[in-house]
Structure 1
Amino acid sequence: MNEKKLAKFLKEGVTNNKIKTGYKEVLQYIKGTKIIVLSKSLTPEKEEKIKKSAEESDISVIQYPGNSVLLGRLCSLSYGTSVVSLKNVSDEEVKELISS
């Protein structure tokens, strides 16, 4: 996974208000999501539930190697977040993120 590209997409999402953060919010607004990024801070039960919902809705999931604080920083947020969903990325950009 290319962390610079991921950071670029996440920051664009924050700027354009096309990002959802946190477990409950991501699950609540999963419709229309293109990609979900999970941090290592997420509990296995919550991770499983998100992956199952993503699979049912044909949404790509990326496992971020850092914790929730690092994922929050990657998004230029002032708080940590264990899960992030993006709606503003194209299918090509999703493929690019997954393959890198």
Structure 2
Amino acid sequence: MDMQGGQPINSQQLSYEQFQAQVRQREQQEQRQAQEALKRVGLDPKSQQVQQVIQQLNGIERELQQAENQLQMQMDAQRRQIKLLQQKIQHAVAHIQGIGSNSNSVSNSYRQ
């Protein structure tokens, strides 16, 4: 007879199987207790689904806020570009007006 530690292999396998059965029973019991606890605080399967929907909606809301922030940043950048172009136009106009007034004063000095 094959023996390990003074006991036959069959009895060791049987006690291992019993141990596994006890583990399964404990896990099932813990799962039932967890489900009961969720029901007591109002989180039955339907309310869990509602919670999931709420979480998804909150995620969508965060995405919308990020998109709005990004759009605002793009608009601000475009405003800065427009102001920069306006300043360039104003400088060009002032430069042209300066050239025009200088040529008028130069031509006036030749006439005298």
State if a TM-score over 0.5 links the two structures. Answer: no
| TM bin (shorter chain) | under 0.3
Higher helix content, 1 or 2: 2
Normalized against structure 1, the TM-score is what? Answer: 0.22
Higher strand content, 1 or 2: 1
Rg (Cα) greater in structure? 2
Normalized against structure 2, the TM-score is what? Answer: 0.20
